[in-house]
Structure 1
């Protein structure tokens, strides 16, 4: 259902953009491309500089929203980092569209490494969104009330405009009343309060000046008009801006522009308005995005040069956003090349080229430049997915596009832009670490729709630019320096064929199949990877109750289960680190193809950066106890009781022995008898997923430690051994019901001493659930809830007892996390994980 809603939203945005394009076409119907070019060149350079200054002021004011928001929620972050994070979120979200979600996700990526929770970031995003609306209500309402736009007067509804103004100011007054009364909202257990009246007043002043600055960016680009005063313009600007924002089209592109053309057409000619809009978009949208990119590259250079710890920490926080930024810039670069190929060249530049280069070079460069633009649109998706292949391809295409721009029309402006993007992107190679092939990646519906929209816009732009040229069949074959229209037709045919071929190829690809049951080959490969893994817990892959996803070169794997719409991986990937990072992406993409949400259960800190890059949320679920065996000793008063346990059991005639895997089948019947007796006293059933269970094939795959008394096995534990003797651990620990107390302590101690004597580095005692969660008033809700259960949930589970038992061995406690997709609620993931471990509802509720 969620996917259908997403597609409906995209279709609505596409429909709005298409309608806006039709309106623009209608408004410009009596004019030519050259009229718009003349309108742009007619804008005085002083006004362009003033407009650029107002844009700077507007973005500086926008960063103040984050500062006020942090003050409102009582969190402190260094001033410089706040300004930087705020600017990046606005510069990117304004160009991406879906500003609530895009700015929220970008803020979370930038603020979470600085200690802010998902809820904190949500409050900041809501606060900044509120600033946008109260500024619109204040200035829009004031403008409508004091000077209704001429259009409303012409239509005879000027009183309606003033009524709208009164309503806007009334809504604003209502917000201030709620703030004065101190109203709060409870959402998902969180209490959200309105800003104080003082803070709200500051927010209003900041928002109002931001709206004034942003509107002046466009107003200064328009020529003076006796019947268009700034106050009247401001009301129309608010209408256009709100309409563009609500359309969810990136930057309100098309929607804002078409409405602006319609509302101001009584005062200015359409070419004048269109020329001003183009410069406005360059100054207020494209340039901030480029500045954000250069800032990131400066920070990366500071990191590479070292010695700048603040730059290093900032860069580590914002690096996950770099692929998104370069993906947008690459898409824009492709649009520039396509738009350039669909419009006439500048006459004096073509005459200059005619004197130096042959016609064939110009024709070839024009066609290849447009094809390069189309390929940049496609590969921009690869940058968003962090593909190394896409990084290399985009850099080469940008350099090629730079050369083609110069040879096809001496378009040095676009050549400079393309070269700057290429030079900025090239050093960022390490961020694009994924080694998957671009053609193997899923091509999202959203991206495909964006490309179709871009190609359709290019077609419209070309038809509009050459509408004065009468069509004939001979036009296709005319070749000359001054023949721009034939070049456009040939370019149009080329990009249309390439787009159709790519679309047909994607549609004809065989459907991906859902995971099937395990095969002997799968288990054999998993066994090999487990044997090479230093993590002893990797042996959980041998239980046979999980699916496997292997990397293309079979050097890494993920073990997972699927329950309902949740695809839950057990632990971090196993195998090569670089291949494992790639595999996390592939696993997430595979789940997304089937509408699933992903979680990685009980993971460490090795791949946290990759989980954050994917937009996952992380919560701490406990701590794992690791005993250092290199310096472990039972000497001293602390281990007095442990030494007594060993002495007592040896006096009782208990013998410790380890059977290698090849000898385990000879004792399986006795082990089964011990296991059945243990289960009968526990009133429970076998567990799974994150715990092993008694299966002859599984038990026989590992060494087994046994305790023998009177020639009878009275207890056992299957032993996990990490590669290179890195870690040693156990899974099942079972004993006969009629044995004496202290048997498990004796087995633990003997295994730890066995690991020390045989050169193992660590003994893994496993995780203590909910251990290490803090009950601080600023801690996230999950931490406080988990701490409460840990302290008072002994009736359901011996949380504190497990921690205290493992603490006897003086371990190092290592945090463990759940990384999960924010598309799914946390409660749903936790329930399905519990059901997978317990084997269903019966096992979940059974003691």
Structure 2
């Protein structure tokens, strides 16, 4: 079972991609079956039959639907007790839904837009999650209610996939659902507290608020369905219940299938359920995609691009803006890159789909009198290749890569030219030029100087690309259904040879996409930066260290970044997309701001997320200034050595254990680093025995690990049982005698009771006698974090784990042991990104620490 779980985790991305491909294939297979009697000429005639009044009515209902959608967020913000101005909620709602409607991947697209807008308005990550959850519940309540009412209003049976559901059964199902909705409303009104979902508490609405949610959702679903209904030419009012049922089922199927944008799935369900002429319904669905999906996306992108450009130009005139703009942070939190990324993706889809459709013969004839046929043929293939390139570059815009910006702008200009050269498609050319202009207007948002070869293509994004390619292929096969496909069709070049041009363009796009994926997957991973520095520079900085954890720089599992003056450095490592800095910078504090900002910029340029791990108070102001979210990690146990003495009541148990161990014949010895090789074999045997007994693996990054090279760099404290070593610990000592500490502490299985207490007491006394000022007993994770009712969600979760997670890790036991030595506790912090990104970074941190290095 464990091996199966590991295999599923390792291949999760591939399995997700395969599942989406299967769903795409099923959706388009259903579309092929449902439209087998239709022809492209029928669809084109139905589209041309749409009247201006139908289009105007659809636009009106679309506007009402999106206006109602803004009420989802307004009501959700009131339910959680964090109301915001309507314009903020409207912007978040509108951009979120336009992105998720077109691309799917609602958490990545719509959730990201909401998060950026609401956090800028003062909400935190849990608040945004609550808003998204309540808005989703509102949406589903409306869809379910509308579908149930439509079921009750339908008098006849329902046929789905060849199965007839009797009216009595469908009525009983609908009535049951409506009763359940009423019961849920009553439960919400009588609830005494918030709903707890994992570690997130979600306030429940009152009865009036719940009724308002359903009313909003019903109005939204009704207006959205009406925007499609008015496009169905000749639709009678008597058809409305069946139509609403078909629409609701299509929405449910599209969401559950997780196909990006629901393309194919939504249309297949609506065509399967809706009676009447399918050519008229199919034409209405095409027009509906443009009016309800693409047009709002274009409006949202234009609004966001305009706002982003205005903000940038305002900052250009601000006297303090030069550094901000140079580093790109002035626009880093904007959502224009996300919107422009979505628009670029849709632009690529437009060019691919255009290459699958027949040309307008009147325009093509006029073009042929100006340019030769080979030029038209080449432009058609080039247009499909440009569309494929835009699909692949869109993730780079989302990550704000300057290379993606330059390449996308060039492709859009080329796409406009090829659109004109392949058939005077000036509508496409205008769309490409408009998008290029918006990119240019917001060019300051694309500031990361990263190679295009490092663009990450997630499974969700690849799924969206494959949906577009599948749609282009299906549309082409549908449009040229009457064309006999023969081998020589590939080589037919004629002015009206639309089918051969479709085949060649699709083949070129498929080959280009496949080649890009193979090249990307076969490219070697980015090599880690070498530890290129002068050893003398490292020793100079370590000589000025005030903290012993600076000795972690001696381990080869980290990268080092030195300040310009080489008077300070910091340790860090990259795991996945996370750049994790270990502890405070080391050396001159005057150089700390320079170092932290440099690592912040390096992480940002590499599309990474920065975390400062186990930092102390002096770093917090800098971390907050860099825009990082600070949380408490735990507390470090510190003993002030000048005041240390065993003759105190608080150390009674330690004193008793130490003296009992001494009576058993244990003795203490310090082995200088130069003499460690003499005892190294015995230390290795003790270490292996201790590791096997504990069932632990070697750690890294925040701790040392046993290796011969590492152990020979430090003095080692030994507990001797006669002539045999019973326990050992390697010593971390600062040259200025500011602090002493230990790293690895290991003992034999049969070591006498109290051995480790004996070891610590003697190390403390030895360090005190040599003038060290303080001794660090290390950190107690999650210690000292208050879990009060009004504390942040992360603090309550940490407190819960500290008090009840003993079976997973000895949090309280570790603190209790260190408490025996009567230390004072100093807080340690983590500073990193907010929200779900912090969770991902913590996951990378745990993998970095738990990685077992090669032992030498």
Give the TM-score of the pair, scaled to structure 2.
0.71
The answer as to 2:348 corresponding to 1:334 is yes
Is the deviation greater in 241-250 or in 476-485?
A: 476-485
For the Cα contact (< 8 Å) 2:308–2:336, is it kept in 1? no
For the Cα contact (< 8 Å) 1:771–1:803, is it kept in 2? no
Compute the displacement of 1:203 (Å).
Answer: 1.0
For the Cα contact (< 8 Å) 2:738–2:773, is it kept in 1? no
Q: Distance in 1 between matches of 2:603 and 2:820?
A: 33
Change (3 A) 1:372 1:163: same
Change (3 A) 1:177 1:524: same
Q: Which residue of 2 aligns with 1:126?
A: 133
Compute the displacement of 1:466 (Å).
Answer: 2.2
Change (3 A) 1:730 1:609: same
Change (3 A) 1:133 1:10: same
Q: Distance in 1 between matches of 2:577 and 2:280?
A: 54
Q: Which residue of 2 aligns with 1:781?
A: 793
Aligned pair partner of 2:557 in 531, 546, 553: 546
Q: Distance in 2 between matches of 1:85 and 1:259?
A: 30
Q: Distance in 2 between matches of 1:38 and 1:177?
A: 51
Q: Which residue of 1 aligns with 2:92?
A: 85
Q: Which residue of 1 aligns with 2:404?
A: 390
Correspondence list, 1:562-641, <5 A: 569-571=580-582, 581=601, 583=603, 601-602=613-614, 619-621=631-633
Aligned pair partner of 1:298 in 306, 317, 329: 306
For the Cα contact (< 8 Å) 2:611–2:841, is it kept in 1? no
Compute the displacement of 1:643 (Å).
Answer: 14
For the Cα contact (< 8 Å) 1:367–1:491, is it kept in 2? yes
For the Cα contact (< 8 Å) 1:476–1:489, is it kept in 2? yes
Is the deviation greater in 685-694 or in 300-309?
A: 685-694
Correspondence list, 1:127-146, <5 A: 127-146=134-153
Secondary structure in 1 aligned to 2:442? helix
Q: Which residue of 1 aligns with 2:207?
A: 197
Aligned pair partner of 2:217 in 197, 207, 230: 207
Secondary structure in 2 aligned to 1:345? coil
Change (3 A) 1:567 1:643: closer
Compute the displacement of 1:28 (Å).
Answer: 2.7
Q: Distance in 2 between matches of 1:789 and 1:356?
A: 75
For the Cα contact (< 8 Å) 2:40–2:478, is it kept in 1? yes
Change (3 A) 1:193 1:317: farther
Change (3 A) 1:336 1:671: same
Change (3 A) 1:331 1:739: closer
For the Cα contact (< 8 Å) 1:527–1:542, is it kept in 2? no
The answer as to 2:275 corresponding to 1:262 is no
Q: Distance in 1 between matches of 2:516 and 2:773?
A: 61
Q: Distance in 1 between matches of 2:403 and 2:468?
A: 23
Q: Which residue of 2 aligns with 1:633?
A: none
Compute the displacement of 1:499 (Å).
Answer: 3.3
How many residue pairs are counted as aligned between the two chains? 733
Change (3 A) 1:372 1:573: farther
Secondary structure in 2 aligned to 1:505? helix
The answer as to 2:66 corresponding to 1:59 is yes
Deviations 1:812-832 (A, max 9, x none): x99845879669699978987
Compute the displacement of 1:470 (Å).
Answer: 3.3
Is the deviation greater in 685-694 or in 143-152?
A: 685-694
For the Cα contact (< 8 Å) 2:70–2:90, is it kept in 1? yes
Aligned pair partner of 1:233 in 232, 243, 257: 243
Change (3 A) 1:504 1:102: closer
Change (3 A) 1:602 1:431: farther
Change (3 A) 1:483 1:821: same
For the Cα contact (< 8 Å) 1:541–1:559, is it kept in 2? no
Aligned pair partner of 1:416 in 407, 427, 430: 430
Deviations 1:525-580 (A, max 9, x none): 485996999997895552215244999xxx99973498xx9989343999696776
For the Cα contact (< 8 Å) 2:551–2:732, is it kept in 1? no
Q: Distance in 2 between matches of 1:83 and 1:730?
A: 56
Q: Distance in 2 between matches of 1:376 and 1:831?
A: 36
Secondary structure in 1 aligned to 2:196? strand
Change (3 A) 1:186 1:642: closer
For the Cα contact (< 8 Å) 2:739–2:773, is it kept in 1? no
Compute the displacement of 1:117 (Å).
Answer: 3.5
The answer as to 2:498 corresponding to 1:488 is no
Compute the displacement of 1:382 (Å).
Answer: 2.6
Q: Which residue of 1 aligns with 2:281?
A: 273
Compute the displacement of 1:405 (Å).
Answer: 0.8
Is the deviation greater in 32-41 or in 496-505?
A: 496-505
Give the TM-score of the pair, scaled to structure 1.
0.71
Q: Distance in 2 between matches of 1:832 and 1:487?
A: 51
Q: Which residue of 1 aligns with 2:685?
A: none
Q: Distance in 2 between matches of 1:643 and 1:549?
A: 34
* Gapped regions of structure 1 (runs ≥ 5): 516-520, 590-597, 625-640, 646-665, 673-683, 703-715, 722-727, 750-765, 807-812, 838-847
Secondary structure in 2 aligned to 1:306? helix
Q: Which residue of 1 aligns with 2:572?
A: 559
Change (3 A) 1:623 1:51: farther
For the Cα contact (< 8 Å) 2:229–2:235, is it kept in 1? no
Q: Distance in 2 between matches of 1:152 and 1:397?
A: 47
Deviations 1:741-767 (A, max 9, x none): 996998669xxxxxxxxxxxxxxxx99
Compute the displacement of 1:738 (Å).
Answer: 9.5
* Gapped regions of structure 2 (runs ≥ 5): 1-7, 319-323, 586-594, 645-670, 678-689, 692-697, 715-730, 744-759, 804-810
Compute the displacement of 1:797 (Å).
Answer: 5.5
Change (3 A) 1:203 1:226: closer
